[in-house]
């Protein structure tokens, strides 16, 4: 998906210049079954009333809430084990920001006999 044309958005770091941007997310991986809580960091998330949608690859996550002007809490969907996907944050109003290869789905390993020793 392409970035919105003509909107001043960026993925990056640095001081707060008042522009809407995403600077990162953590953790960068989670269970392929879904349910991982992810914190997206940035700036100017709440300078105006806005909503957000977050996609992990082609799967939409569940936006829980804006925690502050610089933090958005999202529940990641499930995905293919060991797949690394782009994370797309769609702000309305505001545009789209893509974090290339931003999240990896991990296969949750069950207990083994070695775990019981």
For residue range 58-110, what is the model confidence (pLDDT) as tens digits?
999 999 999 999 999 999 999 999 999 999 999 999 899 999 999 999 998 76
pTM of the complete model: 0.79
Cα 97 from chain centre: 10
pLDDT at 8 over 60: no
Residue 55 contacts by C-beta under 8 Å, 6 or more apart in sequence? 1, 61, 87, 88, 90
Give the domain 22-107 fold: Immunoglobulin-like (2.60.40)
Q: Quick check: 96 and 90 in contact, CB under 8 A?
A: yes
- In whole angstroms, give the CA distance from residue 18 to residue 9: 11
């Amino acid at each position: 998906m392409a970035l919105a044309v003509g909107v001043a958005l960026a993925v990056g770091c640095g001081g707060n210049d008042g522009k809407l941007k995403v600077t990162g997310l953590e953790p960068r991986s989670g269970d392929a079954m879904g349910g991982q809580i992810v914190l997206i960091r940035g700036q100017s998330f709440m300078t105006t009333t806005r909503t957000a949608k977050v996609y992990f690859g082609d799967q939409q996550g569940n936006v829980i809430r804006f925690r502050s002007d610089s933090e958005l809490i999202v529940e990641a969907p499930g995905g293919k084990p060991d797949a690394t996907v782009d994370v797309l944050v769609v702000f309305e109003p505001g545009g789209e920001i893509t974090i290339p290869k931003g999240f990896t789905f991990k296969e949750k390993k069950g207990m083994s006999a070695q775990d019981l020793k």
